[in-house]
Homo-oligomer: A and B are copies of this chain.
Amino acid sequence: MRRILALTGGVGGAKLALGLSRVLEAHEVLFAVNTADDFTHLGLHISPDIDSLTYALAGQNNTETGWGRAGDSWHCIETFAELGGADWFRLGDKDLALHLRRTQLMAAGGTLTDATASIAQALGIAHPIAPMSNDAVRTIVHTDSGPLAFQHYFVRERCAPRVERFEFRGGDTAELNPLIESWLDGCDGVVICPSNPYVSIDPMLSLGRLRERLTDLPVVAISPIVGGLALKGPAAKMMAELHVPATVEAVAAHYHDILDGLVIDSTDAEASKLIGIPTIVTNTIMVTLADRVALASAALGFLGDLTPAS
C-alpha cells in the first residue's frame, strides 16, 4: 500500500502528517490541506493550515506558541499596533516573510499550489503538499453573533460566539486541486488526520467528487476527540453547540458514508464496541516525534488491513 492520500487541517493534523512523512517516502503520500481558513489580511494571502503543515514538515513549527514559526519574533506586529493597526492576528516576523512570499508568487500569476510548492522546496520539504483547491473557498461561521469569517471567529473572537452552522463560501464552484484528483487514481487508501471534522475536513469533502470517490477507497480517520475533549481547537465546543455529543462515536457517525476504520485513543477504549466499524485503540496524544511516528505507523497498518466498506 504505497499511494496514500492524507487529509489534514492545521496544527493537530500536521502532527500526524509529520509522523506520516517519517514512514512514507515523498512519492508515497500526498498531503491534501484545508484552505477554507485562508484569508486576506493586510493585503497578504494567509493560509494558516498550509503554513502549519509546512512548518511541521520543515521542523520549523513553534512549540512555544503552538502555532506559527519556530524562533519567531514580533517586532513588526508590535510596531504595527503602535502605529494604530489591529494586532489580533499575531504575525511573527519570520512568518510574515512566508505570507509576503506567497502573496508575491501569486501576484506574479502562480497558483496557491505553485506558491506552496516553492516555499516548501525552499524549506527543504520533500513530501508534496496540495492545497485542497486553487480557488477560494472561505468558511463562514454562522453564530449567535451573526456570520463571521473563519479567522474572525477563530482568532479575533477566540471561538466565543455560539456556532449555528458552517458555510463554505465558494465551495460549490471551486475545483478540487487537480493534483488531488489525479492522485486518487490508483490511490491505495486515505488517512483523515485528527483535524476538526467541521471546519478542516468537511470543506475538503465538499469539493467536487472527493466525498464520492472516497467511498470507493479504504479510509481511516484518527479521532480528534479524546475523552470528550478536543485535543486542539474548538471541535468539542462546536459539537456541543451543534447538539452533537463530543464522542468518538459521533466522529465515526460524522464520516459514516466514507469511513472504514477509526483510530481512537486508549481513553476511549470502552467506546470501541459502540462505533459499528472497525477500530484500533492506541495512544493518539502526540507529544513526541516518536508518538507521531507510532500513530502514523498504526494508522497505516490499520488501513492496510481494511478493504473498502462499499
Q: Are B42 and A82 in contact (CB under 8 A)?
A: no
Q: Which residues of B have CB within 8 Å of A79?
A: 93-94, 97-98
Q: In the complex, identify which listed stretch (A2-10, A99-107, A233-241) lies at the interface while the others stay far away.
A: A99-107
User: Distance in Å from the Cβ of A73 to the closest Cβ of chain B?
Assistant: 5
Contact indicator per residue, chain A 67-90, by CB within 8 Å of chain B (1) or not (0): 000001101111110111100000
Whether A123 sits at the interface, judged by CB under 8 Å, is: yes
Chain A interface, >50% SS class:
helix
Whether A43 sits at the interface, judged by CB under 8 Å, is: yes
Contact indicator per residue, chain A 88-126, by CB within 8 Å of chain B (1) or not (0): 000001101110110110010000000000110011000
Q: Are A119 and B75 in contact (CB under 8 A)?
A: no
Q: Are A93 and B73 in contact (CB under 8 A)?
A: yes
Residue in B closest to A80 when the chains form the complex, CB atoms: B97
State which of B78, B82, B93, B119 has its C-beta within 8 Å of the C-beta of A76.
Answer: B93
In angstroms, Cα B100 to Cα A156, docked, is: 19
Q: Are B94 and A75 in contact (CB under 8 A)?
A: yes
User: Distance in Å from the Cβ of A257 to the closest Cβ of chain B?
Assistant: 40
Which interface residue of A44, A76, A80, A96 has the most chain B CB atoms within 10 A? A76
Q: Are A43 and B107 in contact (CB under 8 A)?
A: yes
User: Distance in Å from the Cβ of A51 to the closest Cβ of chain B?
Assistant: 12
Q: Which residues of B have CB within 8 Å of A122?
A: 82-84
Q: Which residues of B have CB within 8 Å of A107?
A: 43
Q: Which residues of B have CB within 8 Å of A85?
A: 97, 100-101, 104
Which interface residue of A82, A93, A123 has the most chain B CB atoms within 10 A? A93
In angstroms, Cα B44 to Cα A104, docked, is: 11
Q: Are B93 and A80 in contact (CB under 8 A)?
A: no
Q: Which residues of B have CB within 8 Å of A72?
A: 75
User: Distance in Å from the Cβ of A256 to the closest Cβ of chain B?
Assistant: 41
Q: Which residues of B have CB within 8 Å of A77?
A: 97
In angstroms, Cα B85 to Cα A123, docked, is: 13
Q: Which residues of B have CB within 8 Å of A93?
A: 73, 75-76, 79, 93
State which of B44, B73, B84, B118 has its C-beta within 8 Å of the C-beta of A84.
Answer: B118
State which of B44, B73, B83, B96 has its C-beta within 8 Å of the C-beta of A101.
Answer: B83
Sampled A-B contacts (28; CB under 8 Å): A42-B103, A43-B44, A43-B100, A43-B103, A73-B75, A75-B75, A75-B93, A75-B94, A75-B97, A76-B76, A76-B94, A76-B96, A76-B97, A78-B97, A79-B93, A79-B94, A79-B97, A82-B97, A82-B122, A83-B97, A83-B122, A83-B123, A84-B101, A84-B119, A84-B122, A85-B100, A85-B101, A96-B96
